[in-house]
Amino acid sequence: MSTDYSLPSDFNETLVSKYDEAIANGHINFNGELAVNEKIQELAEGTNINFQLTLLESLVHRPEKGDKELDPFANPEPELTIVDHLGKKDELKLVYNKFPVVPYHFLLITKDYVSQNTPLSASELMSMYTILKNVQTQNDDEWFSFYNCGPESGASQPHKHVQFMTLPKGFIPFPQLIAMKSEPFLPNDKTEPLQDGALPFAHFVARLPDSDFDEDDLSLFFASLLQRTLTTLREHDATHISYNFIMTTKYMLMVPRSKASYKNLGINSCGAMGLILCKNNDLLQMVKEDSVLTVLTDVCFPSSAGQKSDEYSY
Ligand code: B4P
């Protein structure tokens, strides 16, 4: 039994073989076969922004919005459990998403019930980073992790969970482009997280250092982005704390959220980084007519690019 961040040495092999077995035995309901993906670009202030629109009309076998009593993560099925012991206090485990749209999609969950409205702990952040480092060595897939935090973030399950998924092949999301152009982030009073002034909605990016770092460093990076998010929420009189958080081995992105959906289109962390899932053709046509930038501007807050933190900021 491990009570730290190390994963079993056969983690990558198990991730694939146990998933294939769970699919074959019907324990995982894969929904992605009929997904139709379209990569598009939209122009924002002279800059092309990458998005992917996914039409998936066959999203079936889905649970209703979860609650504490009907908690799918209270007793995860053994067939869906990948790693039973993880985290500084052995408080975490890894399970497959039972309803994936992208193969091998899995989740980090707390063993005991913890609210999805809480910030990520040092142990959760370090576990995420360790997992990303491990899966990133697998073929040429680009993995990312995401956390839908708060009532307007697009989350439907209230039991704390972080998700891990691969990016569409060849898709470079806007935070990666922002991070690639920058030096590693130094969390201090003088350094602001990155925001591309071309994008109309608030988004805070921190490029991670290339050298090794520990859980305290990760917590500092996360806290810096959260401070900017809290300041944005307060400036706009938000009555809740909701944000999307994305982490890869290279960068972190945090996007404060004003509401969970645009018209009938739910937007979660995938949406906030530009991967828009439409569950019927009407929604797809609406996004095409209105534009993804309009959708994200509506469900987020105005950009604060160029604005420096002051004594009133968190
Ligand atoms: P949440 O954080 O609560 O919310 P979500 O990712 O937005 O998923 P949601 O359930 O709201 O579904 P949505 O229509 O947005 O995540 C809960 C997670 O737990 C989900 O992944 C869910 O499938 C999973 N889950 C529920 N019951 C479970 C159980 N018994 N055992 C294990 N896992 C369980 O999206 C539908 C699906 O598509 C979700 O899997 C979502 O993550 C994924 N998705 C959303 N946007 C996507 C995109 N752009 N590309 C690819 N996949 C996308």
Please enumerate in sequence order all residues whose Cβ is within 8 A of that of 273, keeping only pairs 6 or more positions apart, or say none. Answer: 144, 146, 173, 174, 175, 244, 246, 253
pLDDT score of 306: 80
> Higher-confidence residue: 212 or 91?
91
**What pLDDT digit, counting tens, does each position of 228-281 carry?**
999 999 999 999 999 999 999 999 999 999 999 999 999 999 999 999 999 999
Q: Is the CB of residue 278 less than 8 Å from the CB of residue 236? A: no
Q: Which phi and psi (to 5°) does residue 141 adopt?
A: -70, 140
pLDDT score of 308: 79
Indicate the pLDDT class of residue 219, thresholds 50, 70 and 90: very high
> Higher-confidence residue: 192 or 175?
175
Q: Reply yes or no on whether the pLDDT at 313 is more than 90.
A: no
Active-site residue set: 161
* Chain mean position to CA 178: 17
pLDDT score of 155: 95
Closest ligand 1 atom to 52 CA: 49
Q: Reply yes or no on whether the pLDDT at 166 is more than 90.
A: yes
Q: Reply yes or no on whether the pLDDT at 128 is more than 70.
A: yes
Mutation test of ligand 1: which of 97, 242, 292 has the most ligand atoms closer than 8 Å to its C-beta?
A: 97
Q: Reply yes or no on whether the pLDDT at 156 is more than 90.
A: yes
**What pLDDT digit, counting tens, does each position of 96-114 carry?**
999 999 999 999 999 999 9
Q: Reply yes or no on whether the pLDDT at 47 is more than 90.
A: yes
Closest ligand 1 atom to 266 CA: 15
Lowest mean pLDDT among 53-62, 226-235, 281-290: 53-62
126 Cα: distance to centroid of ligand 1 (angstroms): 23
As for ligand 1, residues whose beta carbon falls within 6 Å of it are: 54, 63, 72, 80, 95, 97-102, 148, 154-157, 163, 266, 268, 270, 275, 277
Average pLDDT value for residue range 167-173: 96
Q: Whose CA is nearest to atom 53 of ligand 1?
A: 101
pLDDT score of 61: 55
Average pLDDT value for residue range 183-188: 80
Q: Whose CA is nearest to atom 27 of ligand 1?
A: 72
Closest ligand 1 atom to 271 CA: 49
Q: Reply yes or no on whether the pLDDT at 307 is more than 90.
A: no
Q: Which CA distances in Å does 92 have to 7, 123, 191?
A: 12, 9, 33
Alpha carbon distance, N-terminus to C-terminus of the chain: 40
Percent of the chain whose predicted confidence (pLDDT) is above 70 = 96
Closest ligand 1 atom to 148 CA: 2
Q: Whose CA is nearest to atom 19 of ligand 1?
A: 97
Indicate the pLDDT class of residue 312, thresholds 50, 70 and 90: confident
pLDDT score of 314: 77
> Higher-confidence residue: 19 or 63?
19
Q: Is 0.85 topped by the overall pTM? A: yes
Mutation test of ligand 1: which of 268, 278, 292, 296 has the most ligand atoms closer than 8 Å to its C-beta?
A: 268
Q: Whose CA is nearest to atom 24 of ligand 1?
A: 97
Indicate the pLDDT class of residue 76, thresholds 50, 70 and 90: very high
